Structure 1
Amino acid sequence: MSMTFSGQVALVTGAAAGIGRATALAFAEHGLKVLVVDLDSAGGEGTAELIRQAGGEALFLPCDVTKDAQVQQMMTQAVDAYSRVDYAFNNAGIEIEKGRLAEGSEAEFDAIMGVNVKGVWLCMKYQLPLMMAQGGGAIVNTASVAGLGAAPKMSIYSASKHAVIGLTKSAAIEYAKKHIRVNAVCPAVIDTDMFRRAHEADPRKAEFAATMHPVGRIGKVEEIAAAVLYLCSDGAAFTTGHSLAVDGGVTAF
């Protein structure tokens, strides 16, 4: 079954690198116009330029997803540019926690919840009315396998991803009859620049991360992008409120 699309415009947050960049490129490869959204202007513009170099159409929109006014302005710019947003991948997120719950700080809590939860909520807050007005759409939010179970020494991050799944399921039910599907993708450990930076000082940790997955390796950004495109495509027309684990078998235990 090939993935087909009924719309023309995709929006990706956190698109400056990693999963976001890979997904933006994948949307463009399928012929969609792509709105590249990130706080990192250099990286975001770099993603848009890669799309243009490959013959696609892309526009970079700088945005801090934790700021209501900026998200609202970003969505206004998206409509001004392309009139509609058919698919939205709310992917912007951070992971800065490395200790047990009682060792965490208020600053860590606010930062993680601000981007991972408030950011997703704000994006959907402005995407959903637009999609209702245009007759439908599809949204995919980035959660994590940490949102499907426990994540020792990452309790705040885990809580934030559980919250993303809660937002996803609730929105899916609220807007199902408005022809808007809302799903989440739940990656395990993925080979991103962030992962490499975190393990460059101790390669043994990177090797251990691979052994955590029954398939014997960590995931690729392109594999998450493929899952996102599937959830947006007509092939998933009967799928909403679902949290899709793309995890090399981690959650099968």
Structure 2
Amino acid sequence: MSSRLDSKVIIITGATSGMGKAVAERVATEGATVVLAARGADVGEHFAAEIRSRGGKALFVPTDVTVEDSVAALVRTTVERFGRVDGAFNNAGGITVMAPVQDLDEAAWRAELDLNLTSVFYGIKHEVPAILASGGGAILNNASNLGVVGMAALAPYVAAKHGIVGLTRAAALENAAHGLRVNALLTGGVDTPAYRSSTGATQQGREMIAGLHPVGRVAQPEEIAAFAAFLLSDEASFVTGAALAVDGGFTTR
């Protein structure tokens, strides 16, 4: 494995499971120092220790991405500990409610947007100054394929993910001339613990979800991680403001 991310310091939210964990493992293998952010301290500390035991460089910082002060502290701690921030993967999020729009209450709507969109706003807001002070770098936001298509019963999640695409493009324009790239990932179904605990946990559910992807299956987290590592590296120096599908053809329909 090359060391194309050698000496870079990269923040990853939602870092202790699924795509976040896979990206953290990949970029650490490629030489980056990873700063892992999640709520679960025990799991986070264990994962950081696991990366270090394999020769990688990792720090866990307990973080609630729905609280701005917590996200600000994450970035501040990273700078204090390592002197710089070169990149970030804003990945935390999830589906917390499934219902038609007319059946949603305000609390459920706001909670979903806080987790999936406002959290990314907090991340970008505090990551940008730190990355610019380090000479530039890259921010990658996980928008999911529902950032560009709709799905019934998931209106708050779909709205939030569409918002991430717009936020990504605006931030990319604001920072393109300063050496900071901002992109969004449009991920399809991925075989993560969250996926397995949802409707995908049943054979019928797995077949239904796989069938939404022209390739006939969902992704492995490592497939997402490989592309994310590229986008966080200098090899993707001409890519910014993009919403890039890694979805097995889902959004081509």
TM range (shorter): over 0.9
Equivalent residue for 2:234? 234
Deviation at 1:43, TM superposition (A): 2.4
Indicate conservation of the 8 Å contact 1:3/1:234, yes or no: no
Where does 1:2-151 land on structure 2 (aligned, <5 Å)?
A: 4-5=4-5, 7-151=7-151
* Aligned residues with identical type, % of pairs: 39
Deviation at 1:199, TM superposition (A): 3.0
Deviation at 1:49, TM superposition (A): 2.0
What is the CA–CA distance in structure 1 between the aligned matches of 2:238 and 2:200, rounded to whole Å? 42
What is the CA–CA distance in structure 1 between the aligned matches of 2:46 and 2:19, rounded to whole Å? 14
Equivalent residue for 1:185? 185
Indicate conservation of the 8 Å contact 1:3/1:230, yes or no: no
What is the CA–CA distance in structure 2 between the aligned matches of 1:52 and 1:201, rounded to whole Å? 32
Equivalent residue for 1:252? 252
Q: How many residues align?
A: 252
What is the CA–CA distance in structure 1 between the aligned matches of 2:94 and 2:122, rounded to whole Å? 16
- SS of 2:43's equivalent in the other structure is helix
Q: Which amino acid aligns with 1:218?
A: V
Deviation at 1:4, TM superposition (A): 2.5
What is the CA–CA distance in structure 1 between the aligned matches of 2:154 and 2:192, rounded to whole Å? 18
What is the CA–CA distance in structure 1 between the aligned matches of 2:147 and 2:127, rounded to whole Å? 23
Q: Which amino acid aligns with 1:171?
A: A
Q: Which amino acid aligns with 2:78?
A: A
Deviation at 1:201, TM superposition (A): 6.0
Deviation at 1:153, TM superposition (A): 1.3
Deviation at 1:252, TM superposition (A): 1.4
Indicate conservation of the 8 Å contact 1:145/1:187, yes or no: yes
What is the CA–CA distance in structure 2 between the aligned matches of 1:41 and 1:112, rounded to whole Å? 23
Q: Which moved more, 1:110-119 or 1:95-104?
A: 95-104
What is the CA–CA distance in structure 1 between the aligned matches of 2:110 and 2:4, rounded to whole Å? 39
Where does 1:213-224 land on structure 2 (aligned, <5 Å)?
A: 213-224=213-224
Coordinate RMSD, CA, aligned = 1.5
Indicate conservation of the 8 Å contact 1:3/1:229, yes or no: no
**Alignment partner of 1:203 is 2:194:** no
Deviation at 1:200, TM superposition (A): 6.6
Q: Which amino acid aligns with 1:240?
A: T
Q: Which amino acid aligns with 1:180?
A: L
Q: List gaps (5 residues or longer) in structure 1.
A: none
Measured against aligned partners, the alpha-carbon deviations of 1:95-130 in whole angstroms (never above 9, x if no partner) come to 122222112222221111101111100111111011
Indicate conservation of the 8 Å contact 1:141/1:168, yes or no: yes
Deviation at 1:7, TM superposition (A): 4.5
Equivalent residue for 2:173? 173
- SS of 1:16's equivalent in the other structure is coil
User: Aligned in 2, Cα 1:24/1:81: closer, same or farther, shift over 3 Å?
Assistant: same
Measured against aligned partners, the alpha-carbon deviations of 1:118-159 in whole angstroms (never above 9, x if no partner) come to 110011111101111121110000101101111111111000
What is the CA–CA distance in structure 1 between the aligned matches of 2:51 and 2:201, rounded to whole Å? 33
What is the CA–CA distance in structure 2 between the aligned matches of 1:135 and 1:71, rounded to whole Å? 21
User: Aligned in 2, Cα 1:102/1:55: closer, same or farther, shift over 3 Å?
Assistant: same
- SS of 1:60's equivalent in the other structure is strand
What is the CA–CA distance in structure 2 between the aligned matches of 1:3 and 1:102, rounded to whole Å? 51
Q: Which amino acid aligns with 1:216?
A: G
